[in-house]
Chain A
Amino acid sequence: DVKVTQSSRYLVKRTGEKVFLECVQDMDHENMFWYRQDPGLGLRLIYFSYDVKMKEKGDIPEGYSVSREKKERFSLILESASTNQTSMYLCASRNPGTGYNEQFFGPGTRLTVL
């Protein structure tokens, strides 16, 4: 069974802290994504990685960075957390051009920044 896991389901951090959100997929997928989900706004793409050490900015990259040193792992970094980064963060992966281009999602990390 396809699986995407995220390191934490809930996280509480203080303003100014450096925050790491980890995502691991076991499907040997090339592409991985980080989204944030906010009520009434749907999912917005933060960063995308099309292969190891390759990344592209999404629609809202400001305040975030990413790291993909291994194919299965994609990390989202908040260099200095702020209260407006309180949100649900969703990781996804896919193999491009296969089947119907489905993305597989992790369970999400609900981050609260105080």
Chain B
Amino acid sequence: GEDVEQSLFLSVREGDSSVINCTYTDSSSTYLYWYKQEPGAGLQLLTYIFSNMDMKQDQRLTVLLNKKDKHLSLRIADTQTGDSAIYFCAETATSGTYKYIFGTGTRLKVLA
């Protein structure tokens, strides 16, 4: 069945780059998302990428999509302590479905 996998933990030093990885199995996915969850809060959309794109950049965030390997990554440049959170990748099709498949979440810890 459909599955989205992420590593559970990542620790980086303040100012370094963070790279959070995600692999997915559903080749019909059309939108792929990165959500951020801060402690005690709900999920907030950080960025998304459409499946016909390879890369998307938004300020400190870079999303890379490798459709052949079904691999999605989120790079955060100049990581700050405020970036400490859980990051979820998710996928869905454009229409005709309510199904979103979420990854297990990666807990990013930024060390000062």
Q: Which A residues have a C-beta under 8 Å from some C-beta of B?
A: 4, 9, 31, 33, 35, 40-43, 45, 48, 50, 56, 90, 92, 96-97, 100-108
A41: which B residues are within 8 A, CB to CB?
104
For B, the interface residue count at a CB cutoff of 8 angstroms equals 25
Residues A105 and B98 in contact, CB atoms below 8 Å apart: no
Residues B45 and A42 in contact, CB atoms below 8 Å apart: no
A107: which B residues are within 8 A, CB to CB?
40-42
Hey, what's the 0/1 contact readout for B39-66 against A, CB within 8 Å counting as 1? Answer: 0111111001010000000000000000
Residues A42 and B4 in contact, CB atoms below 8 Å apart: yes
Q: Is B24 an interface residue (CB 8 A)?
A: no
Cα–Cα, bound, A104→B105 (Å): 17
Residues B95 and A106 in contact, CB atoms below 8 Å apart: no
Question: What is the minimal beta-carbon distance from A36 to any residue of chain B, in angstroms?
Answer: 11
Residues B102 and A96 in contact, CB atoms below 8 Å apart: no
A108: which B residues are within 8 A, CB to CB?
40-42
Question: What is the minimal beta-carbon distance from A38 to any residue of chain B, in angstroms?
Answer: 10
Given A40-B8, A43-B88, A101-B92, A56 and B45 contact (CB-CB distance below 8 Å): no
Question: What is the minimal beta-carbon distance from A22 to any residue of chain B, in angstroms?
Answer: 15
Given A42-B103, A43-B88, A43-B102, A97 and B94 contact (CB-CB distance below 8 Å): yes
A103: which B residues are within 8 A, CB to CB?
43, 45, 100
A56: which B residues are within 8 A, CB to CB?
98
Cα–Cα, bound, A31→B26 (Å): 23
Residues B42 and A4 in contact, CB atoms below 8 Å apart: yes
Residues A42 and B104 in contact, CB atoms below 8 Å apart: yes
Cα–Cα, bound, A108→B44 (Å): 12
Given A100-B31, A105-B42, A48 and B4 contact (CB-CB distance below 8 Å): no
Question: What is the minimal beta-carbon distance from B47 to any residue of chain A, in angstroms?
Answer: 10
Question: What is the minimal beta-carbon distance from A90 to any residue of chain B, in angstroms?
Answer: 6
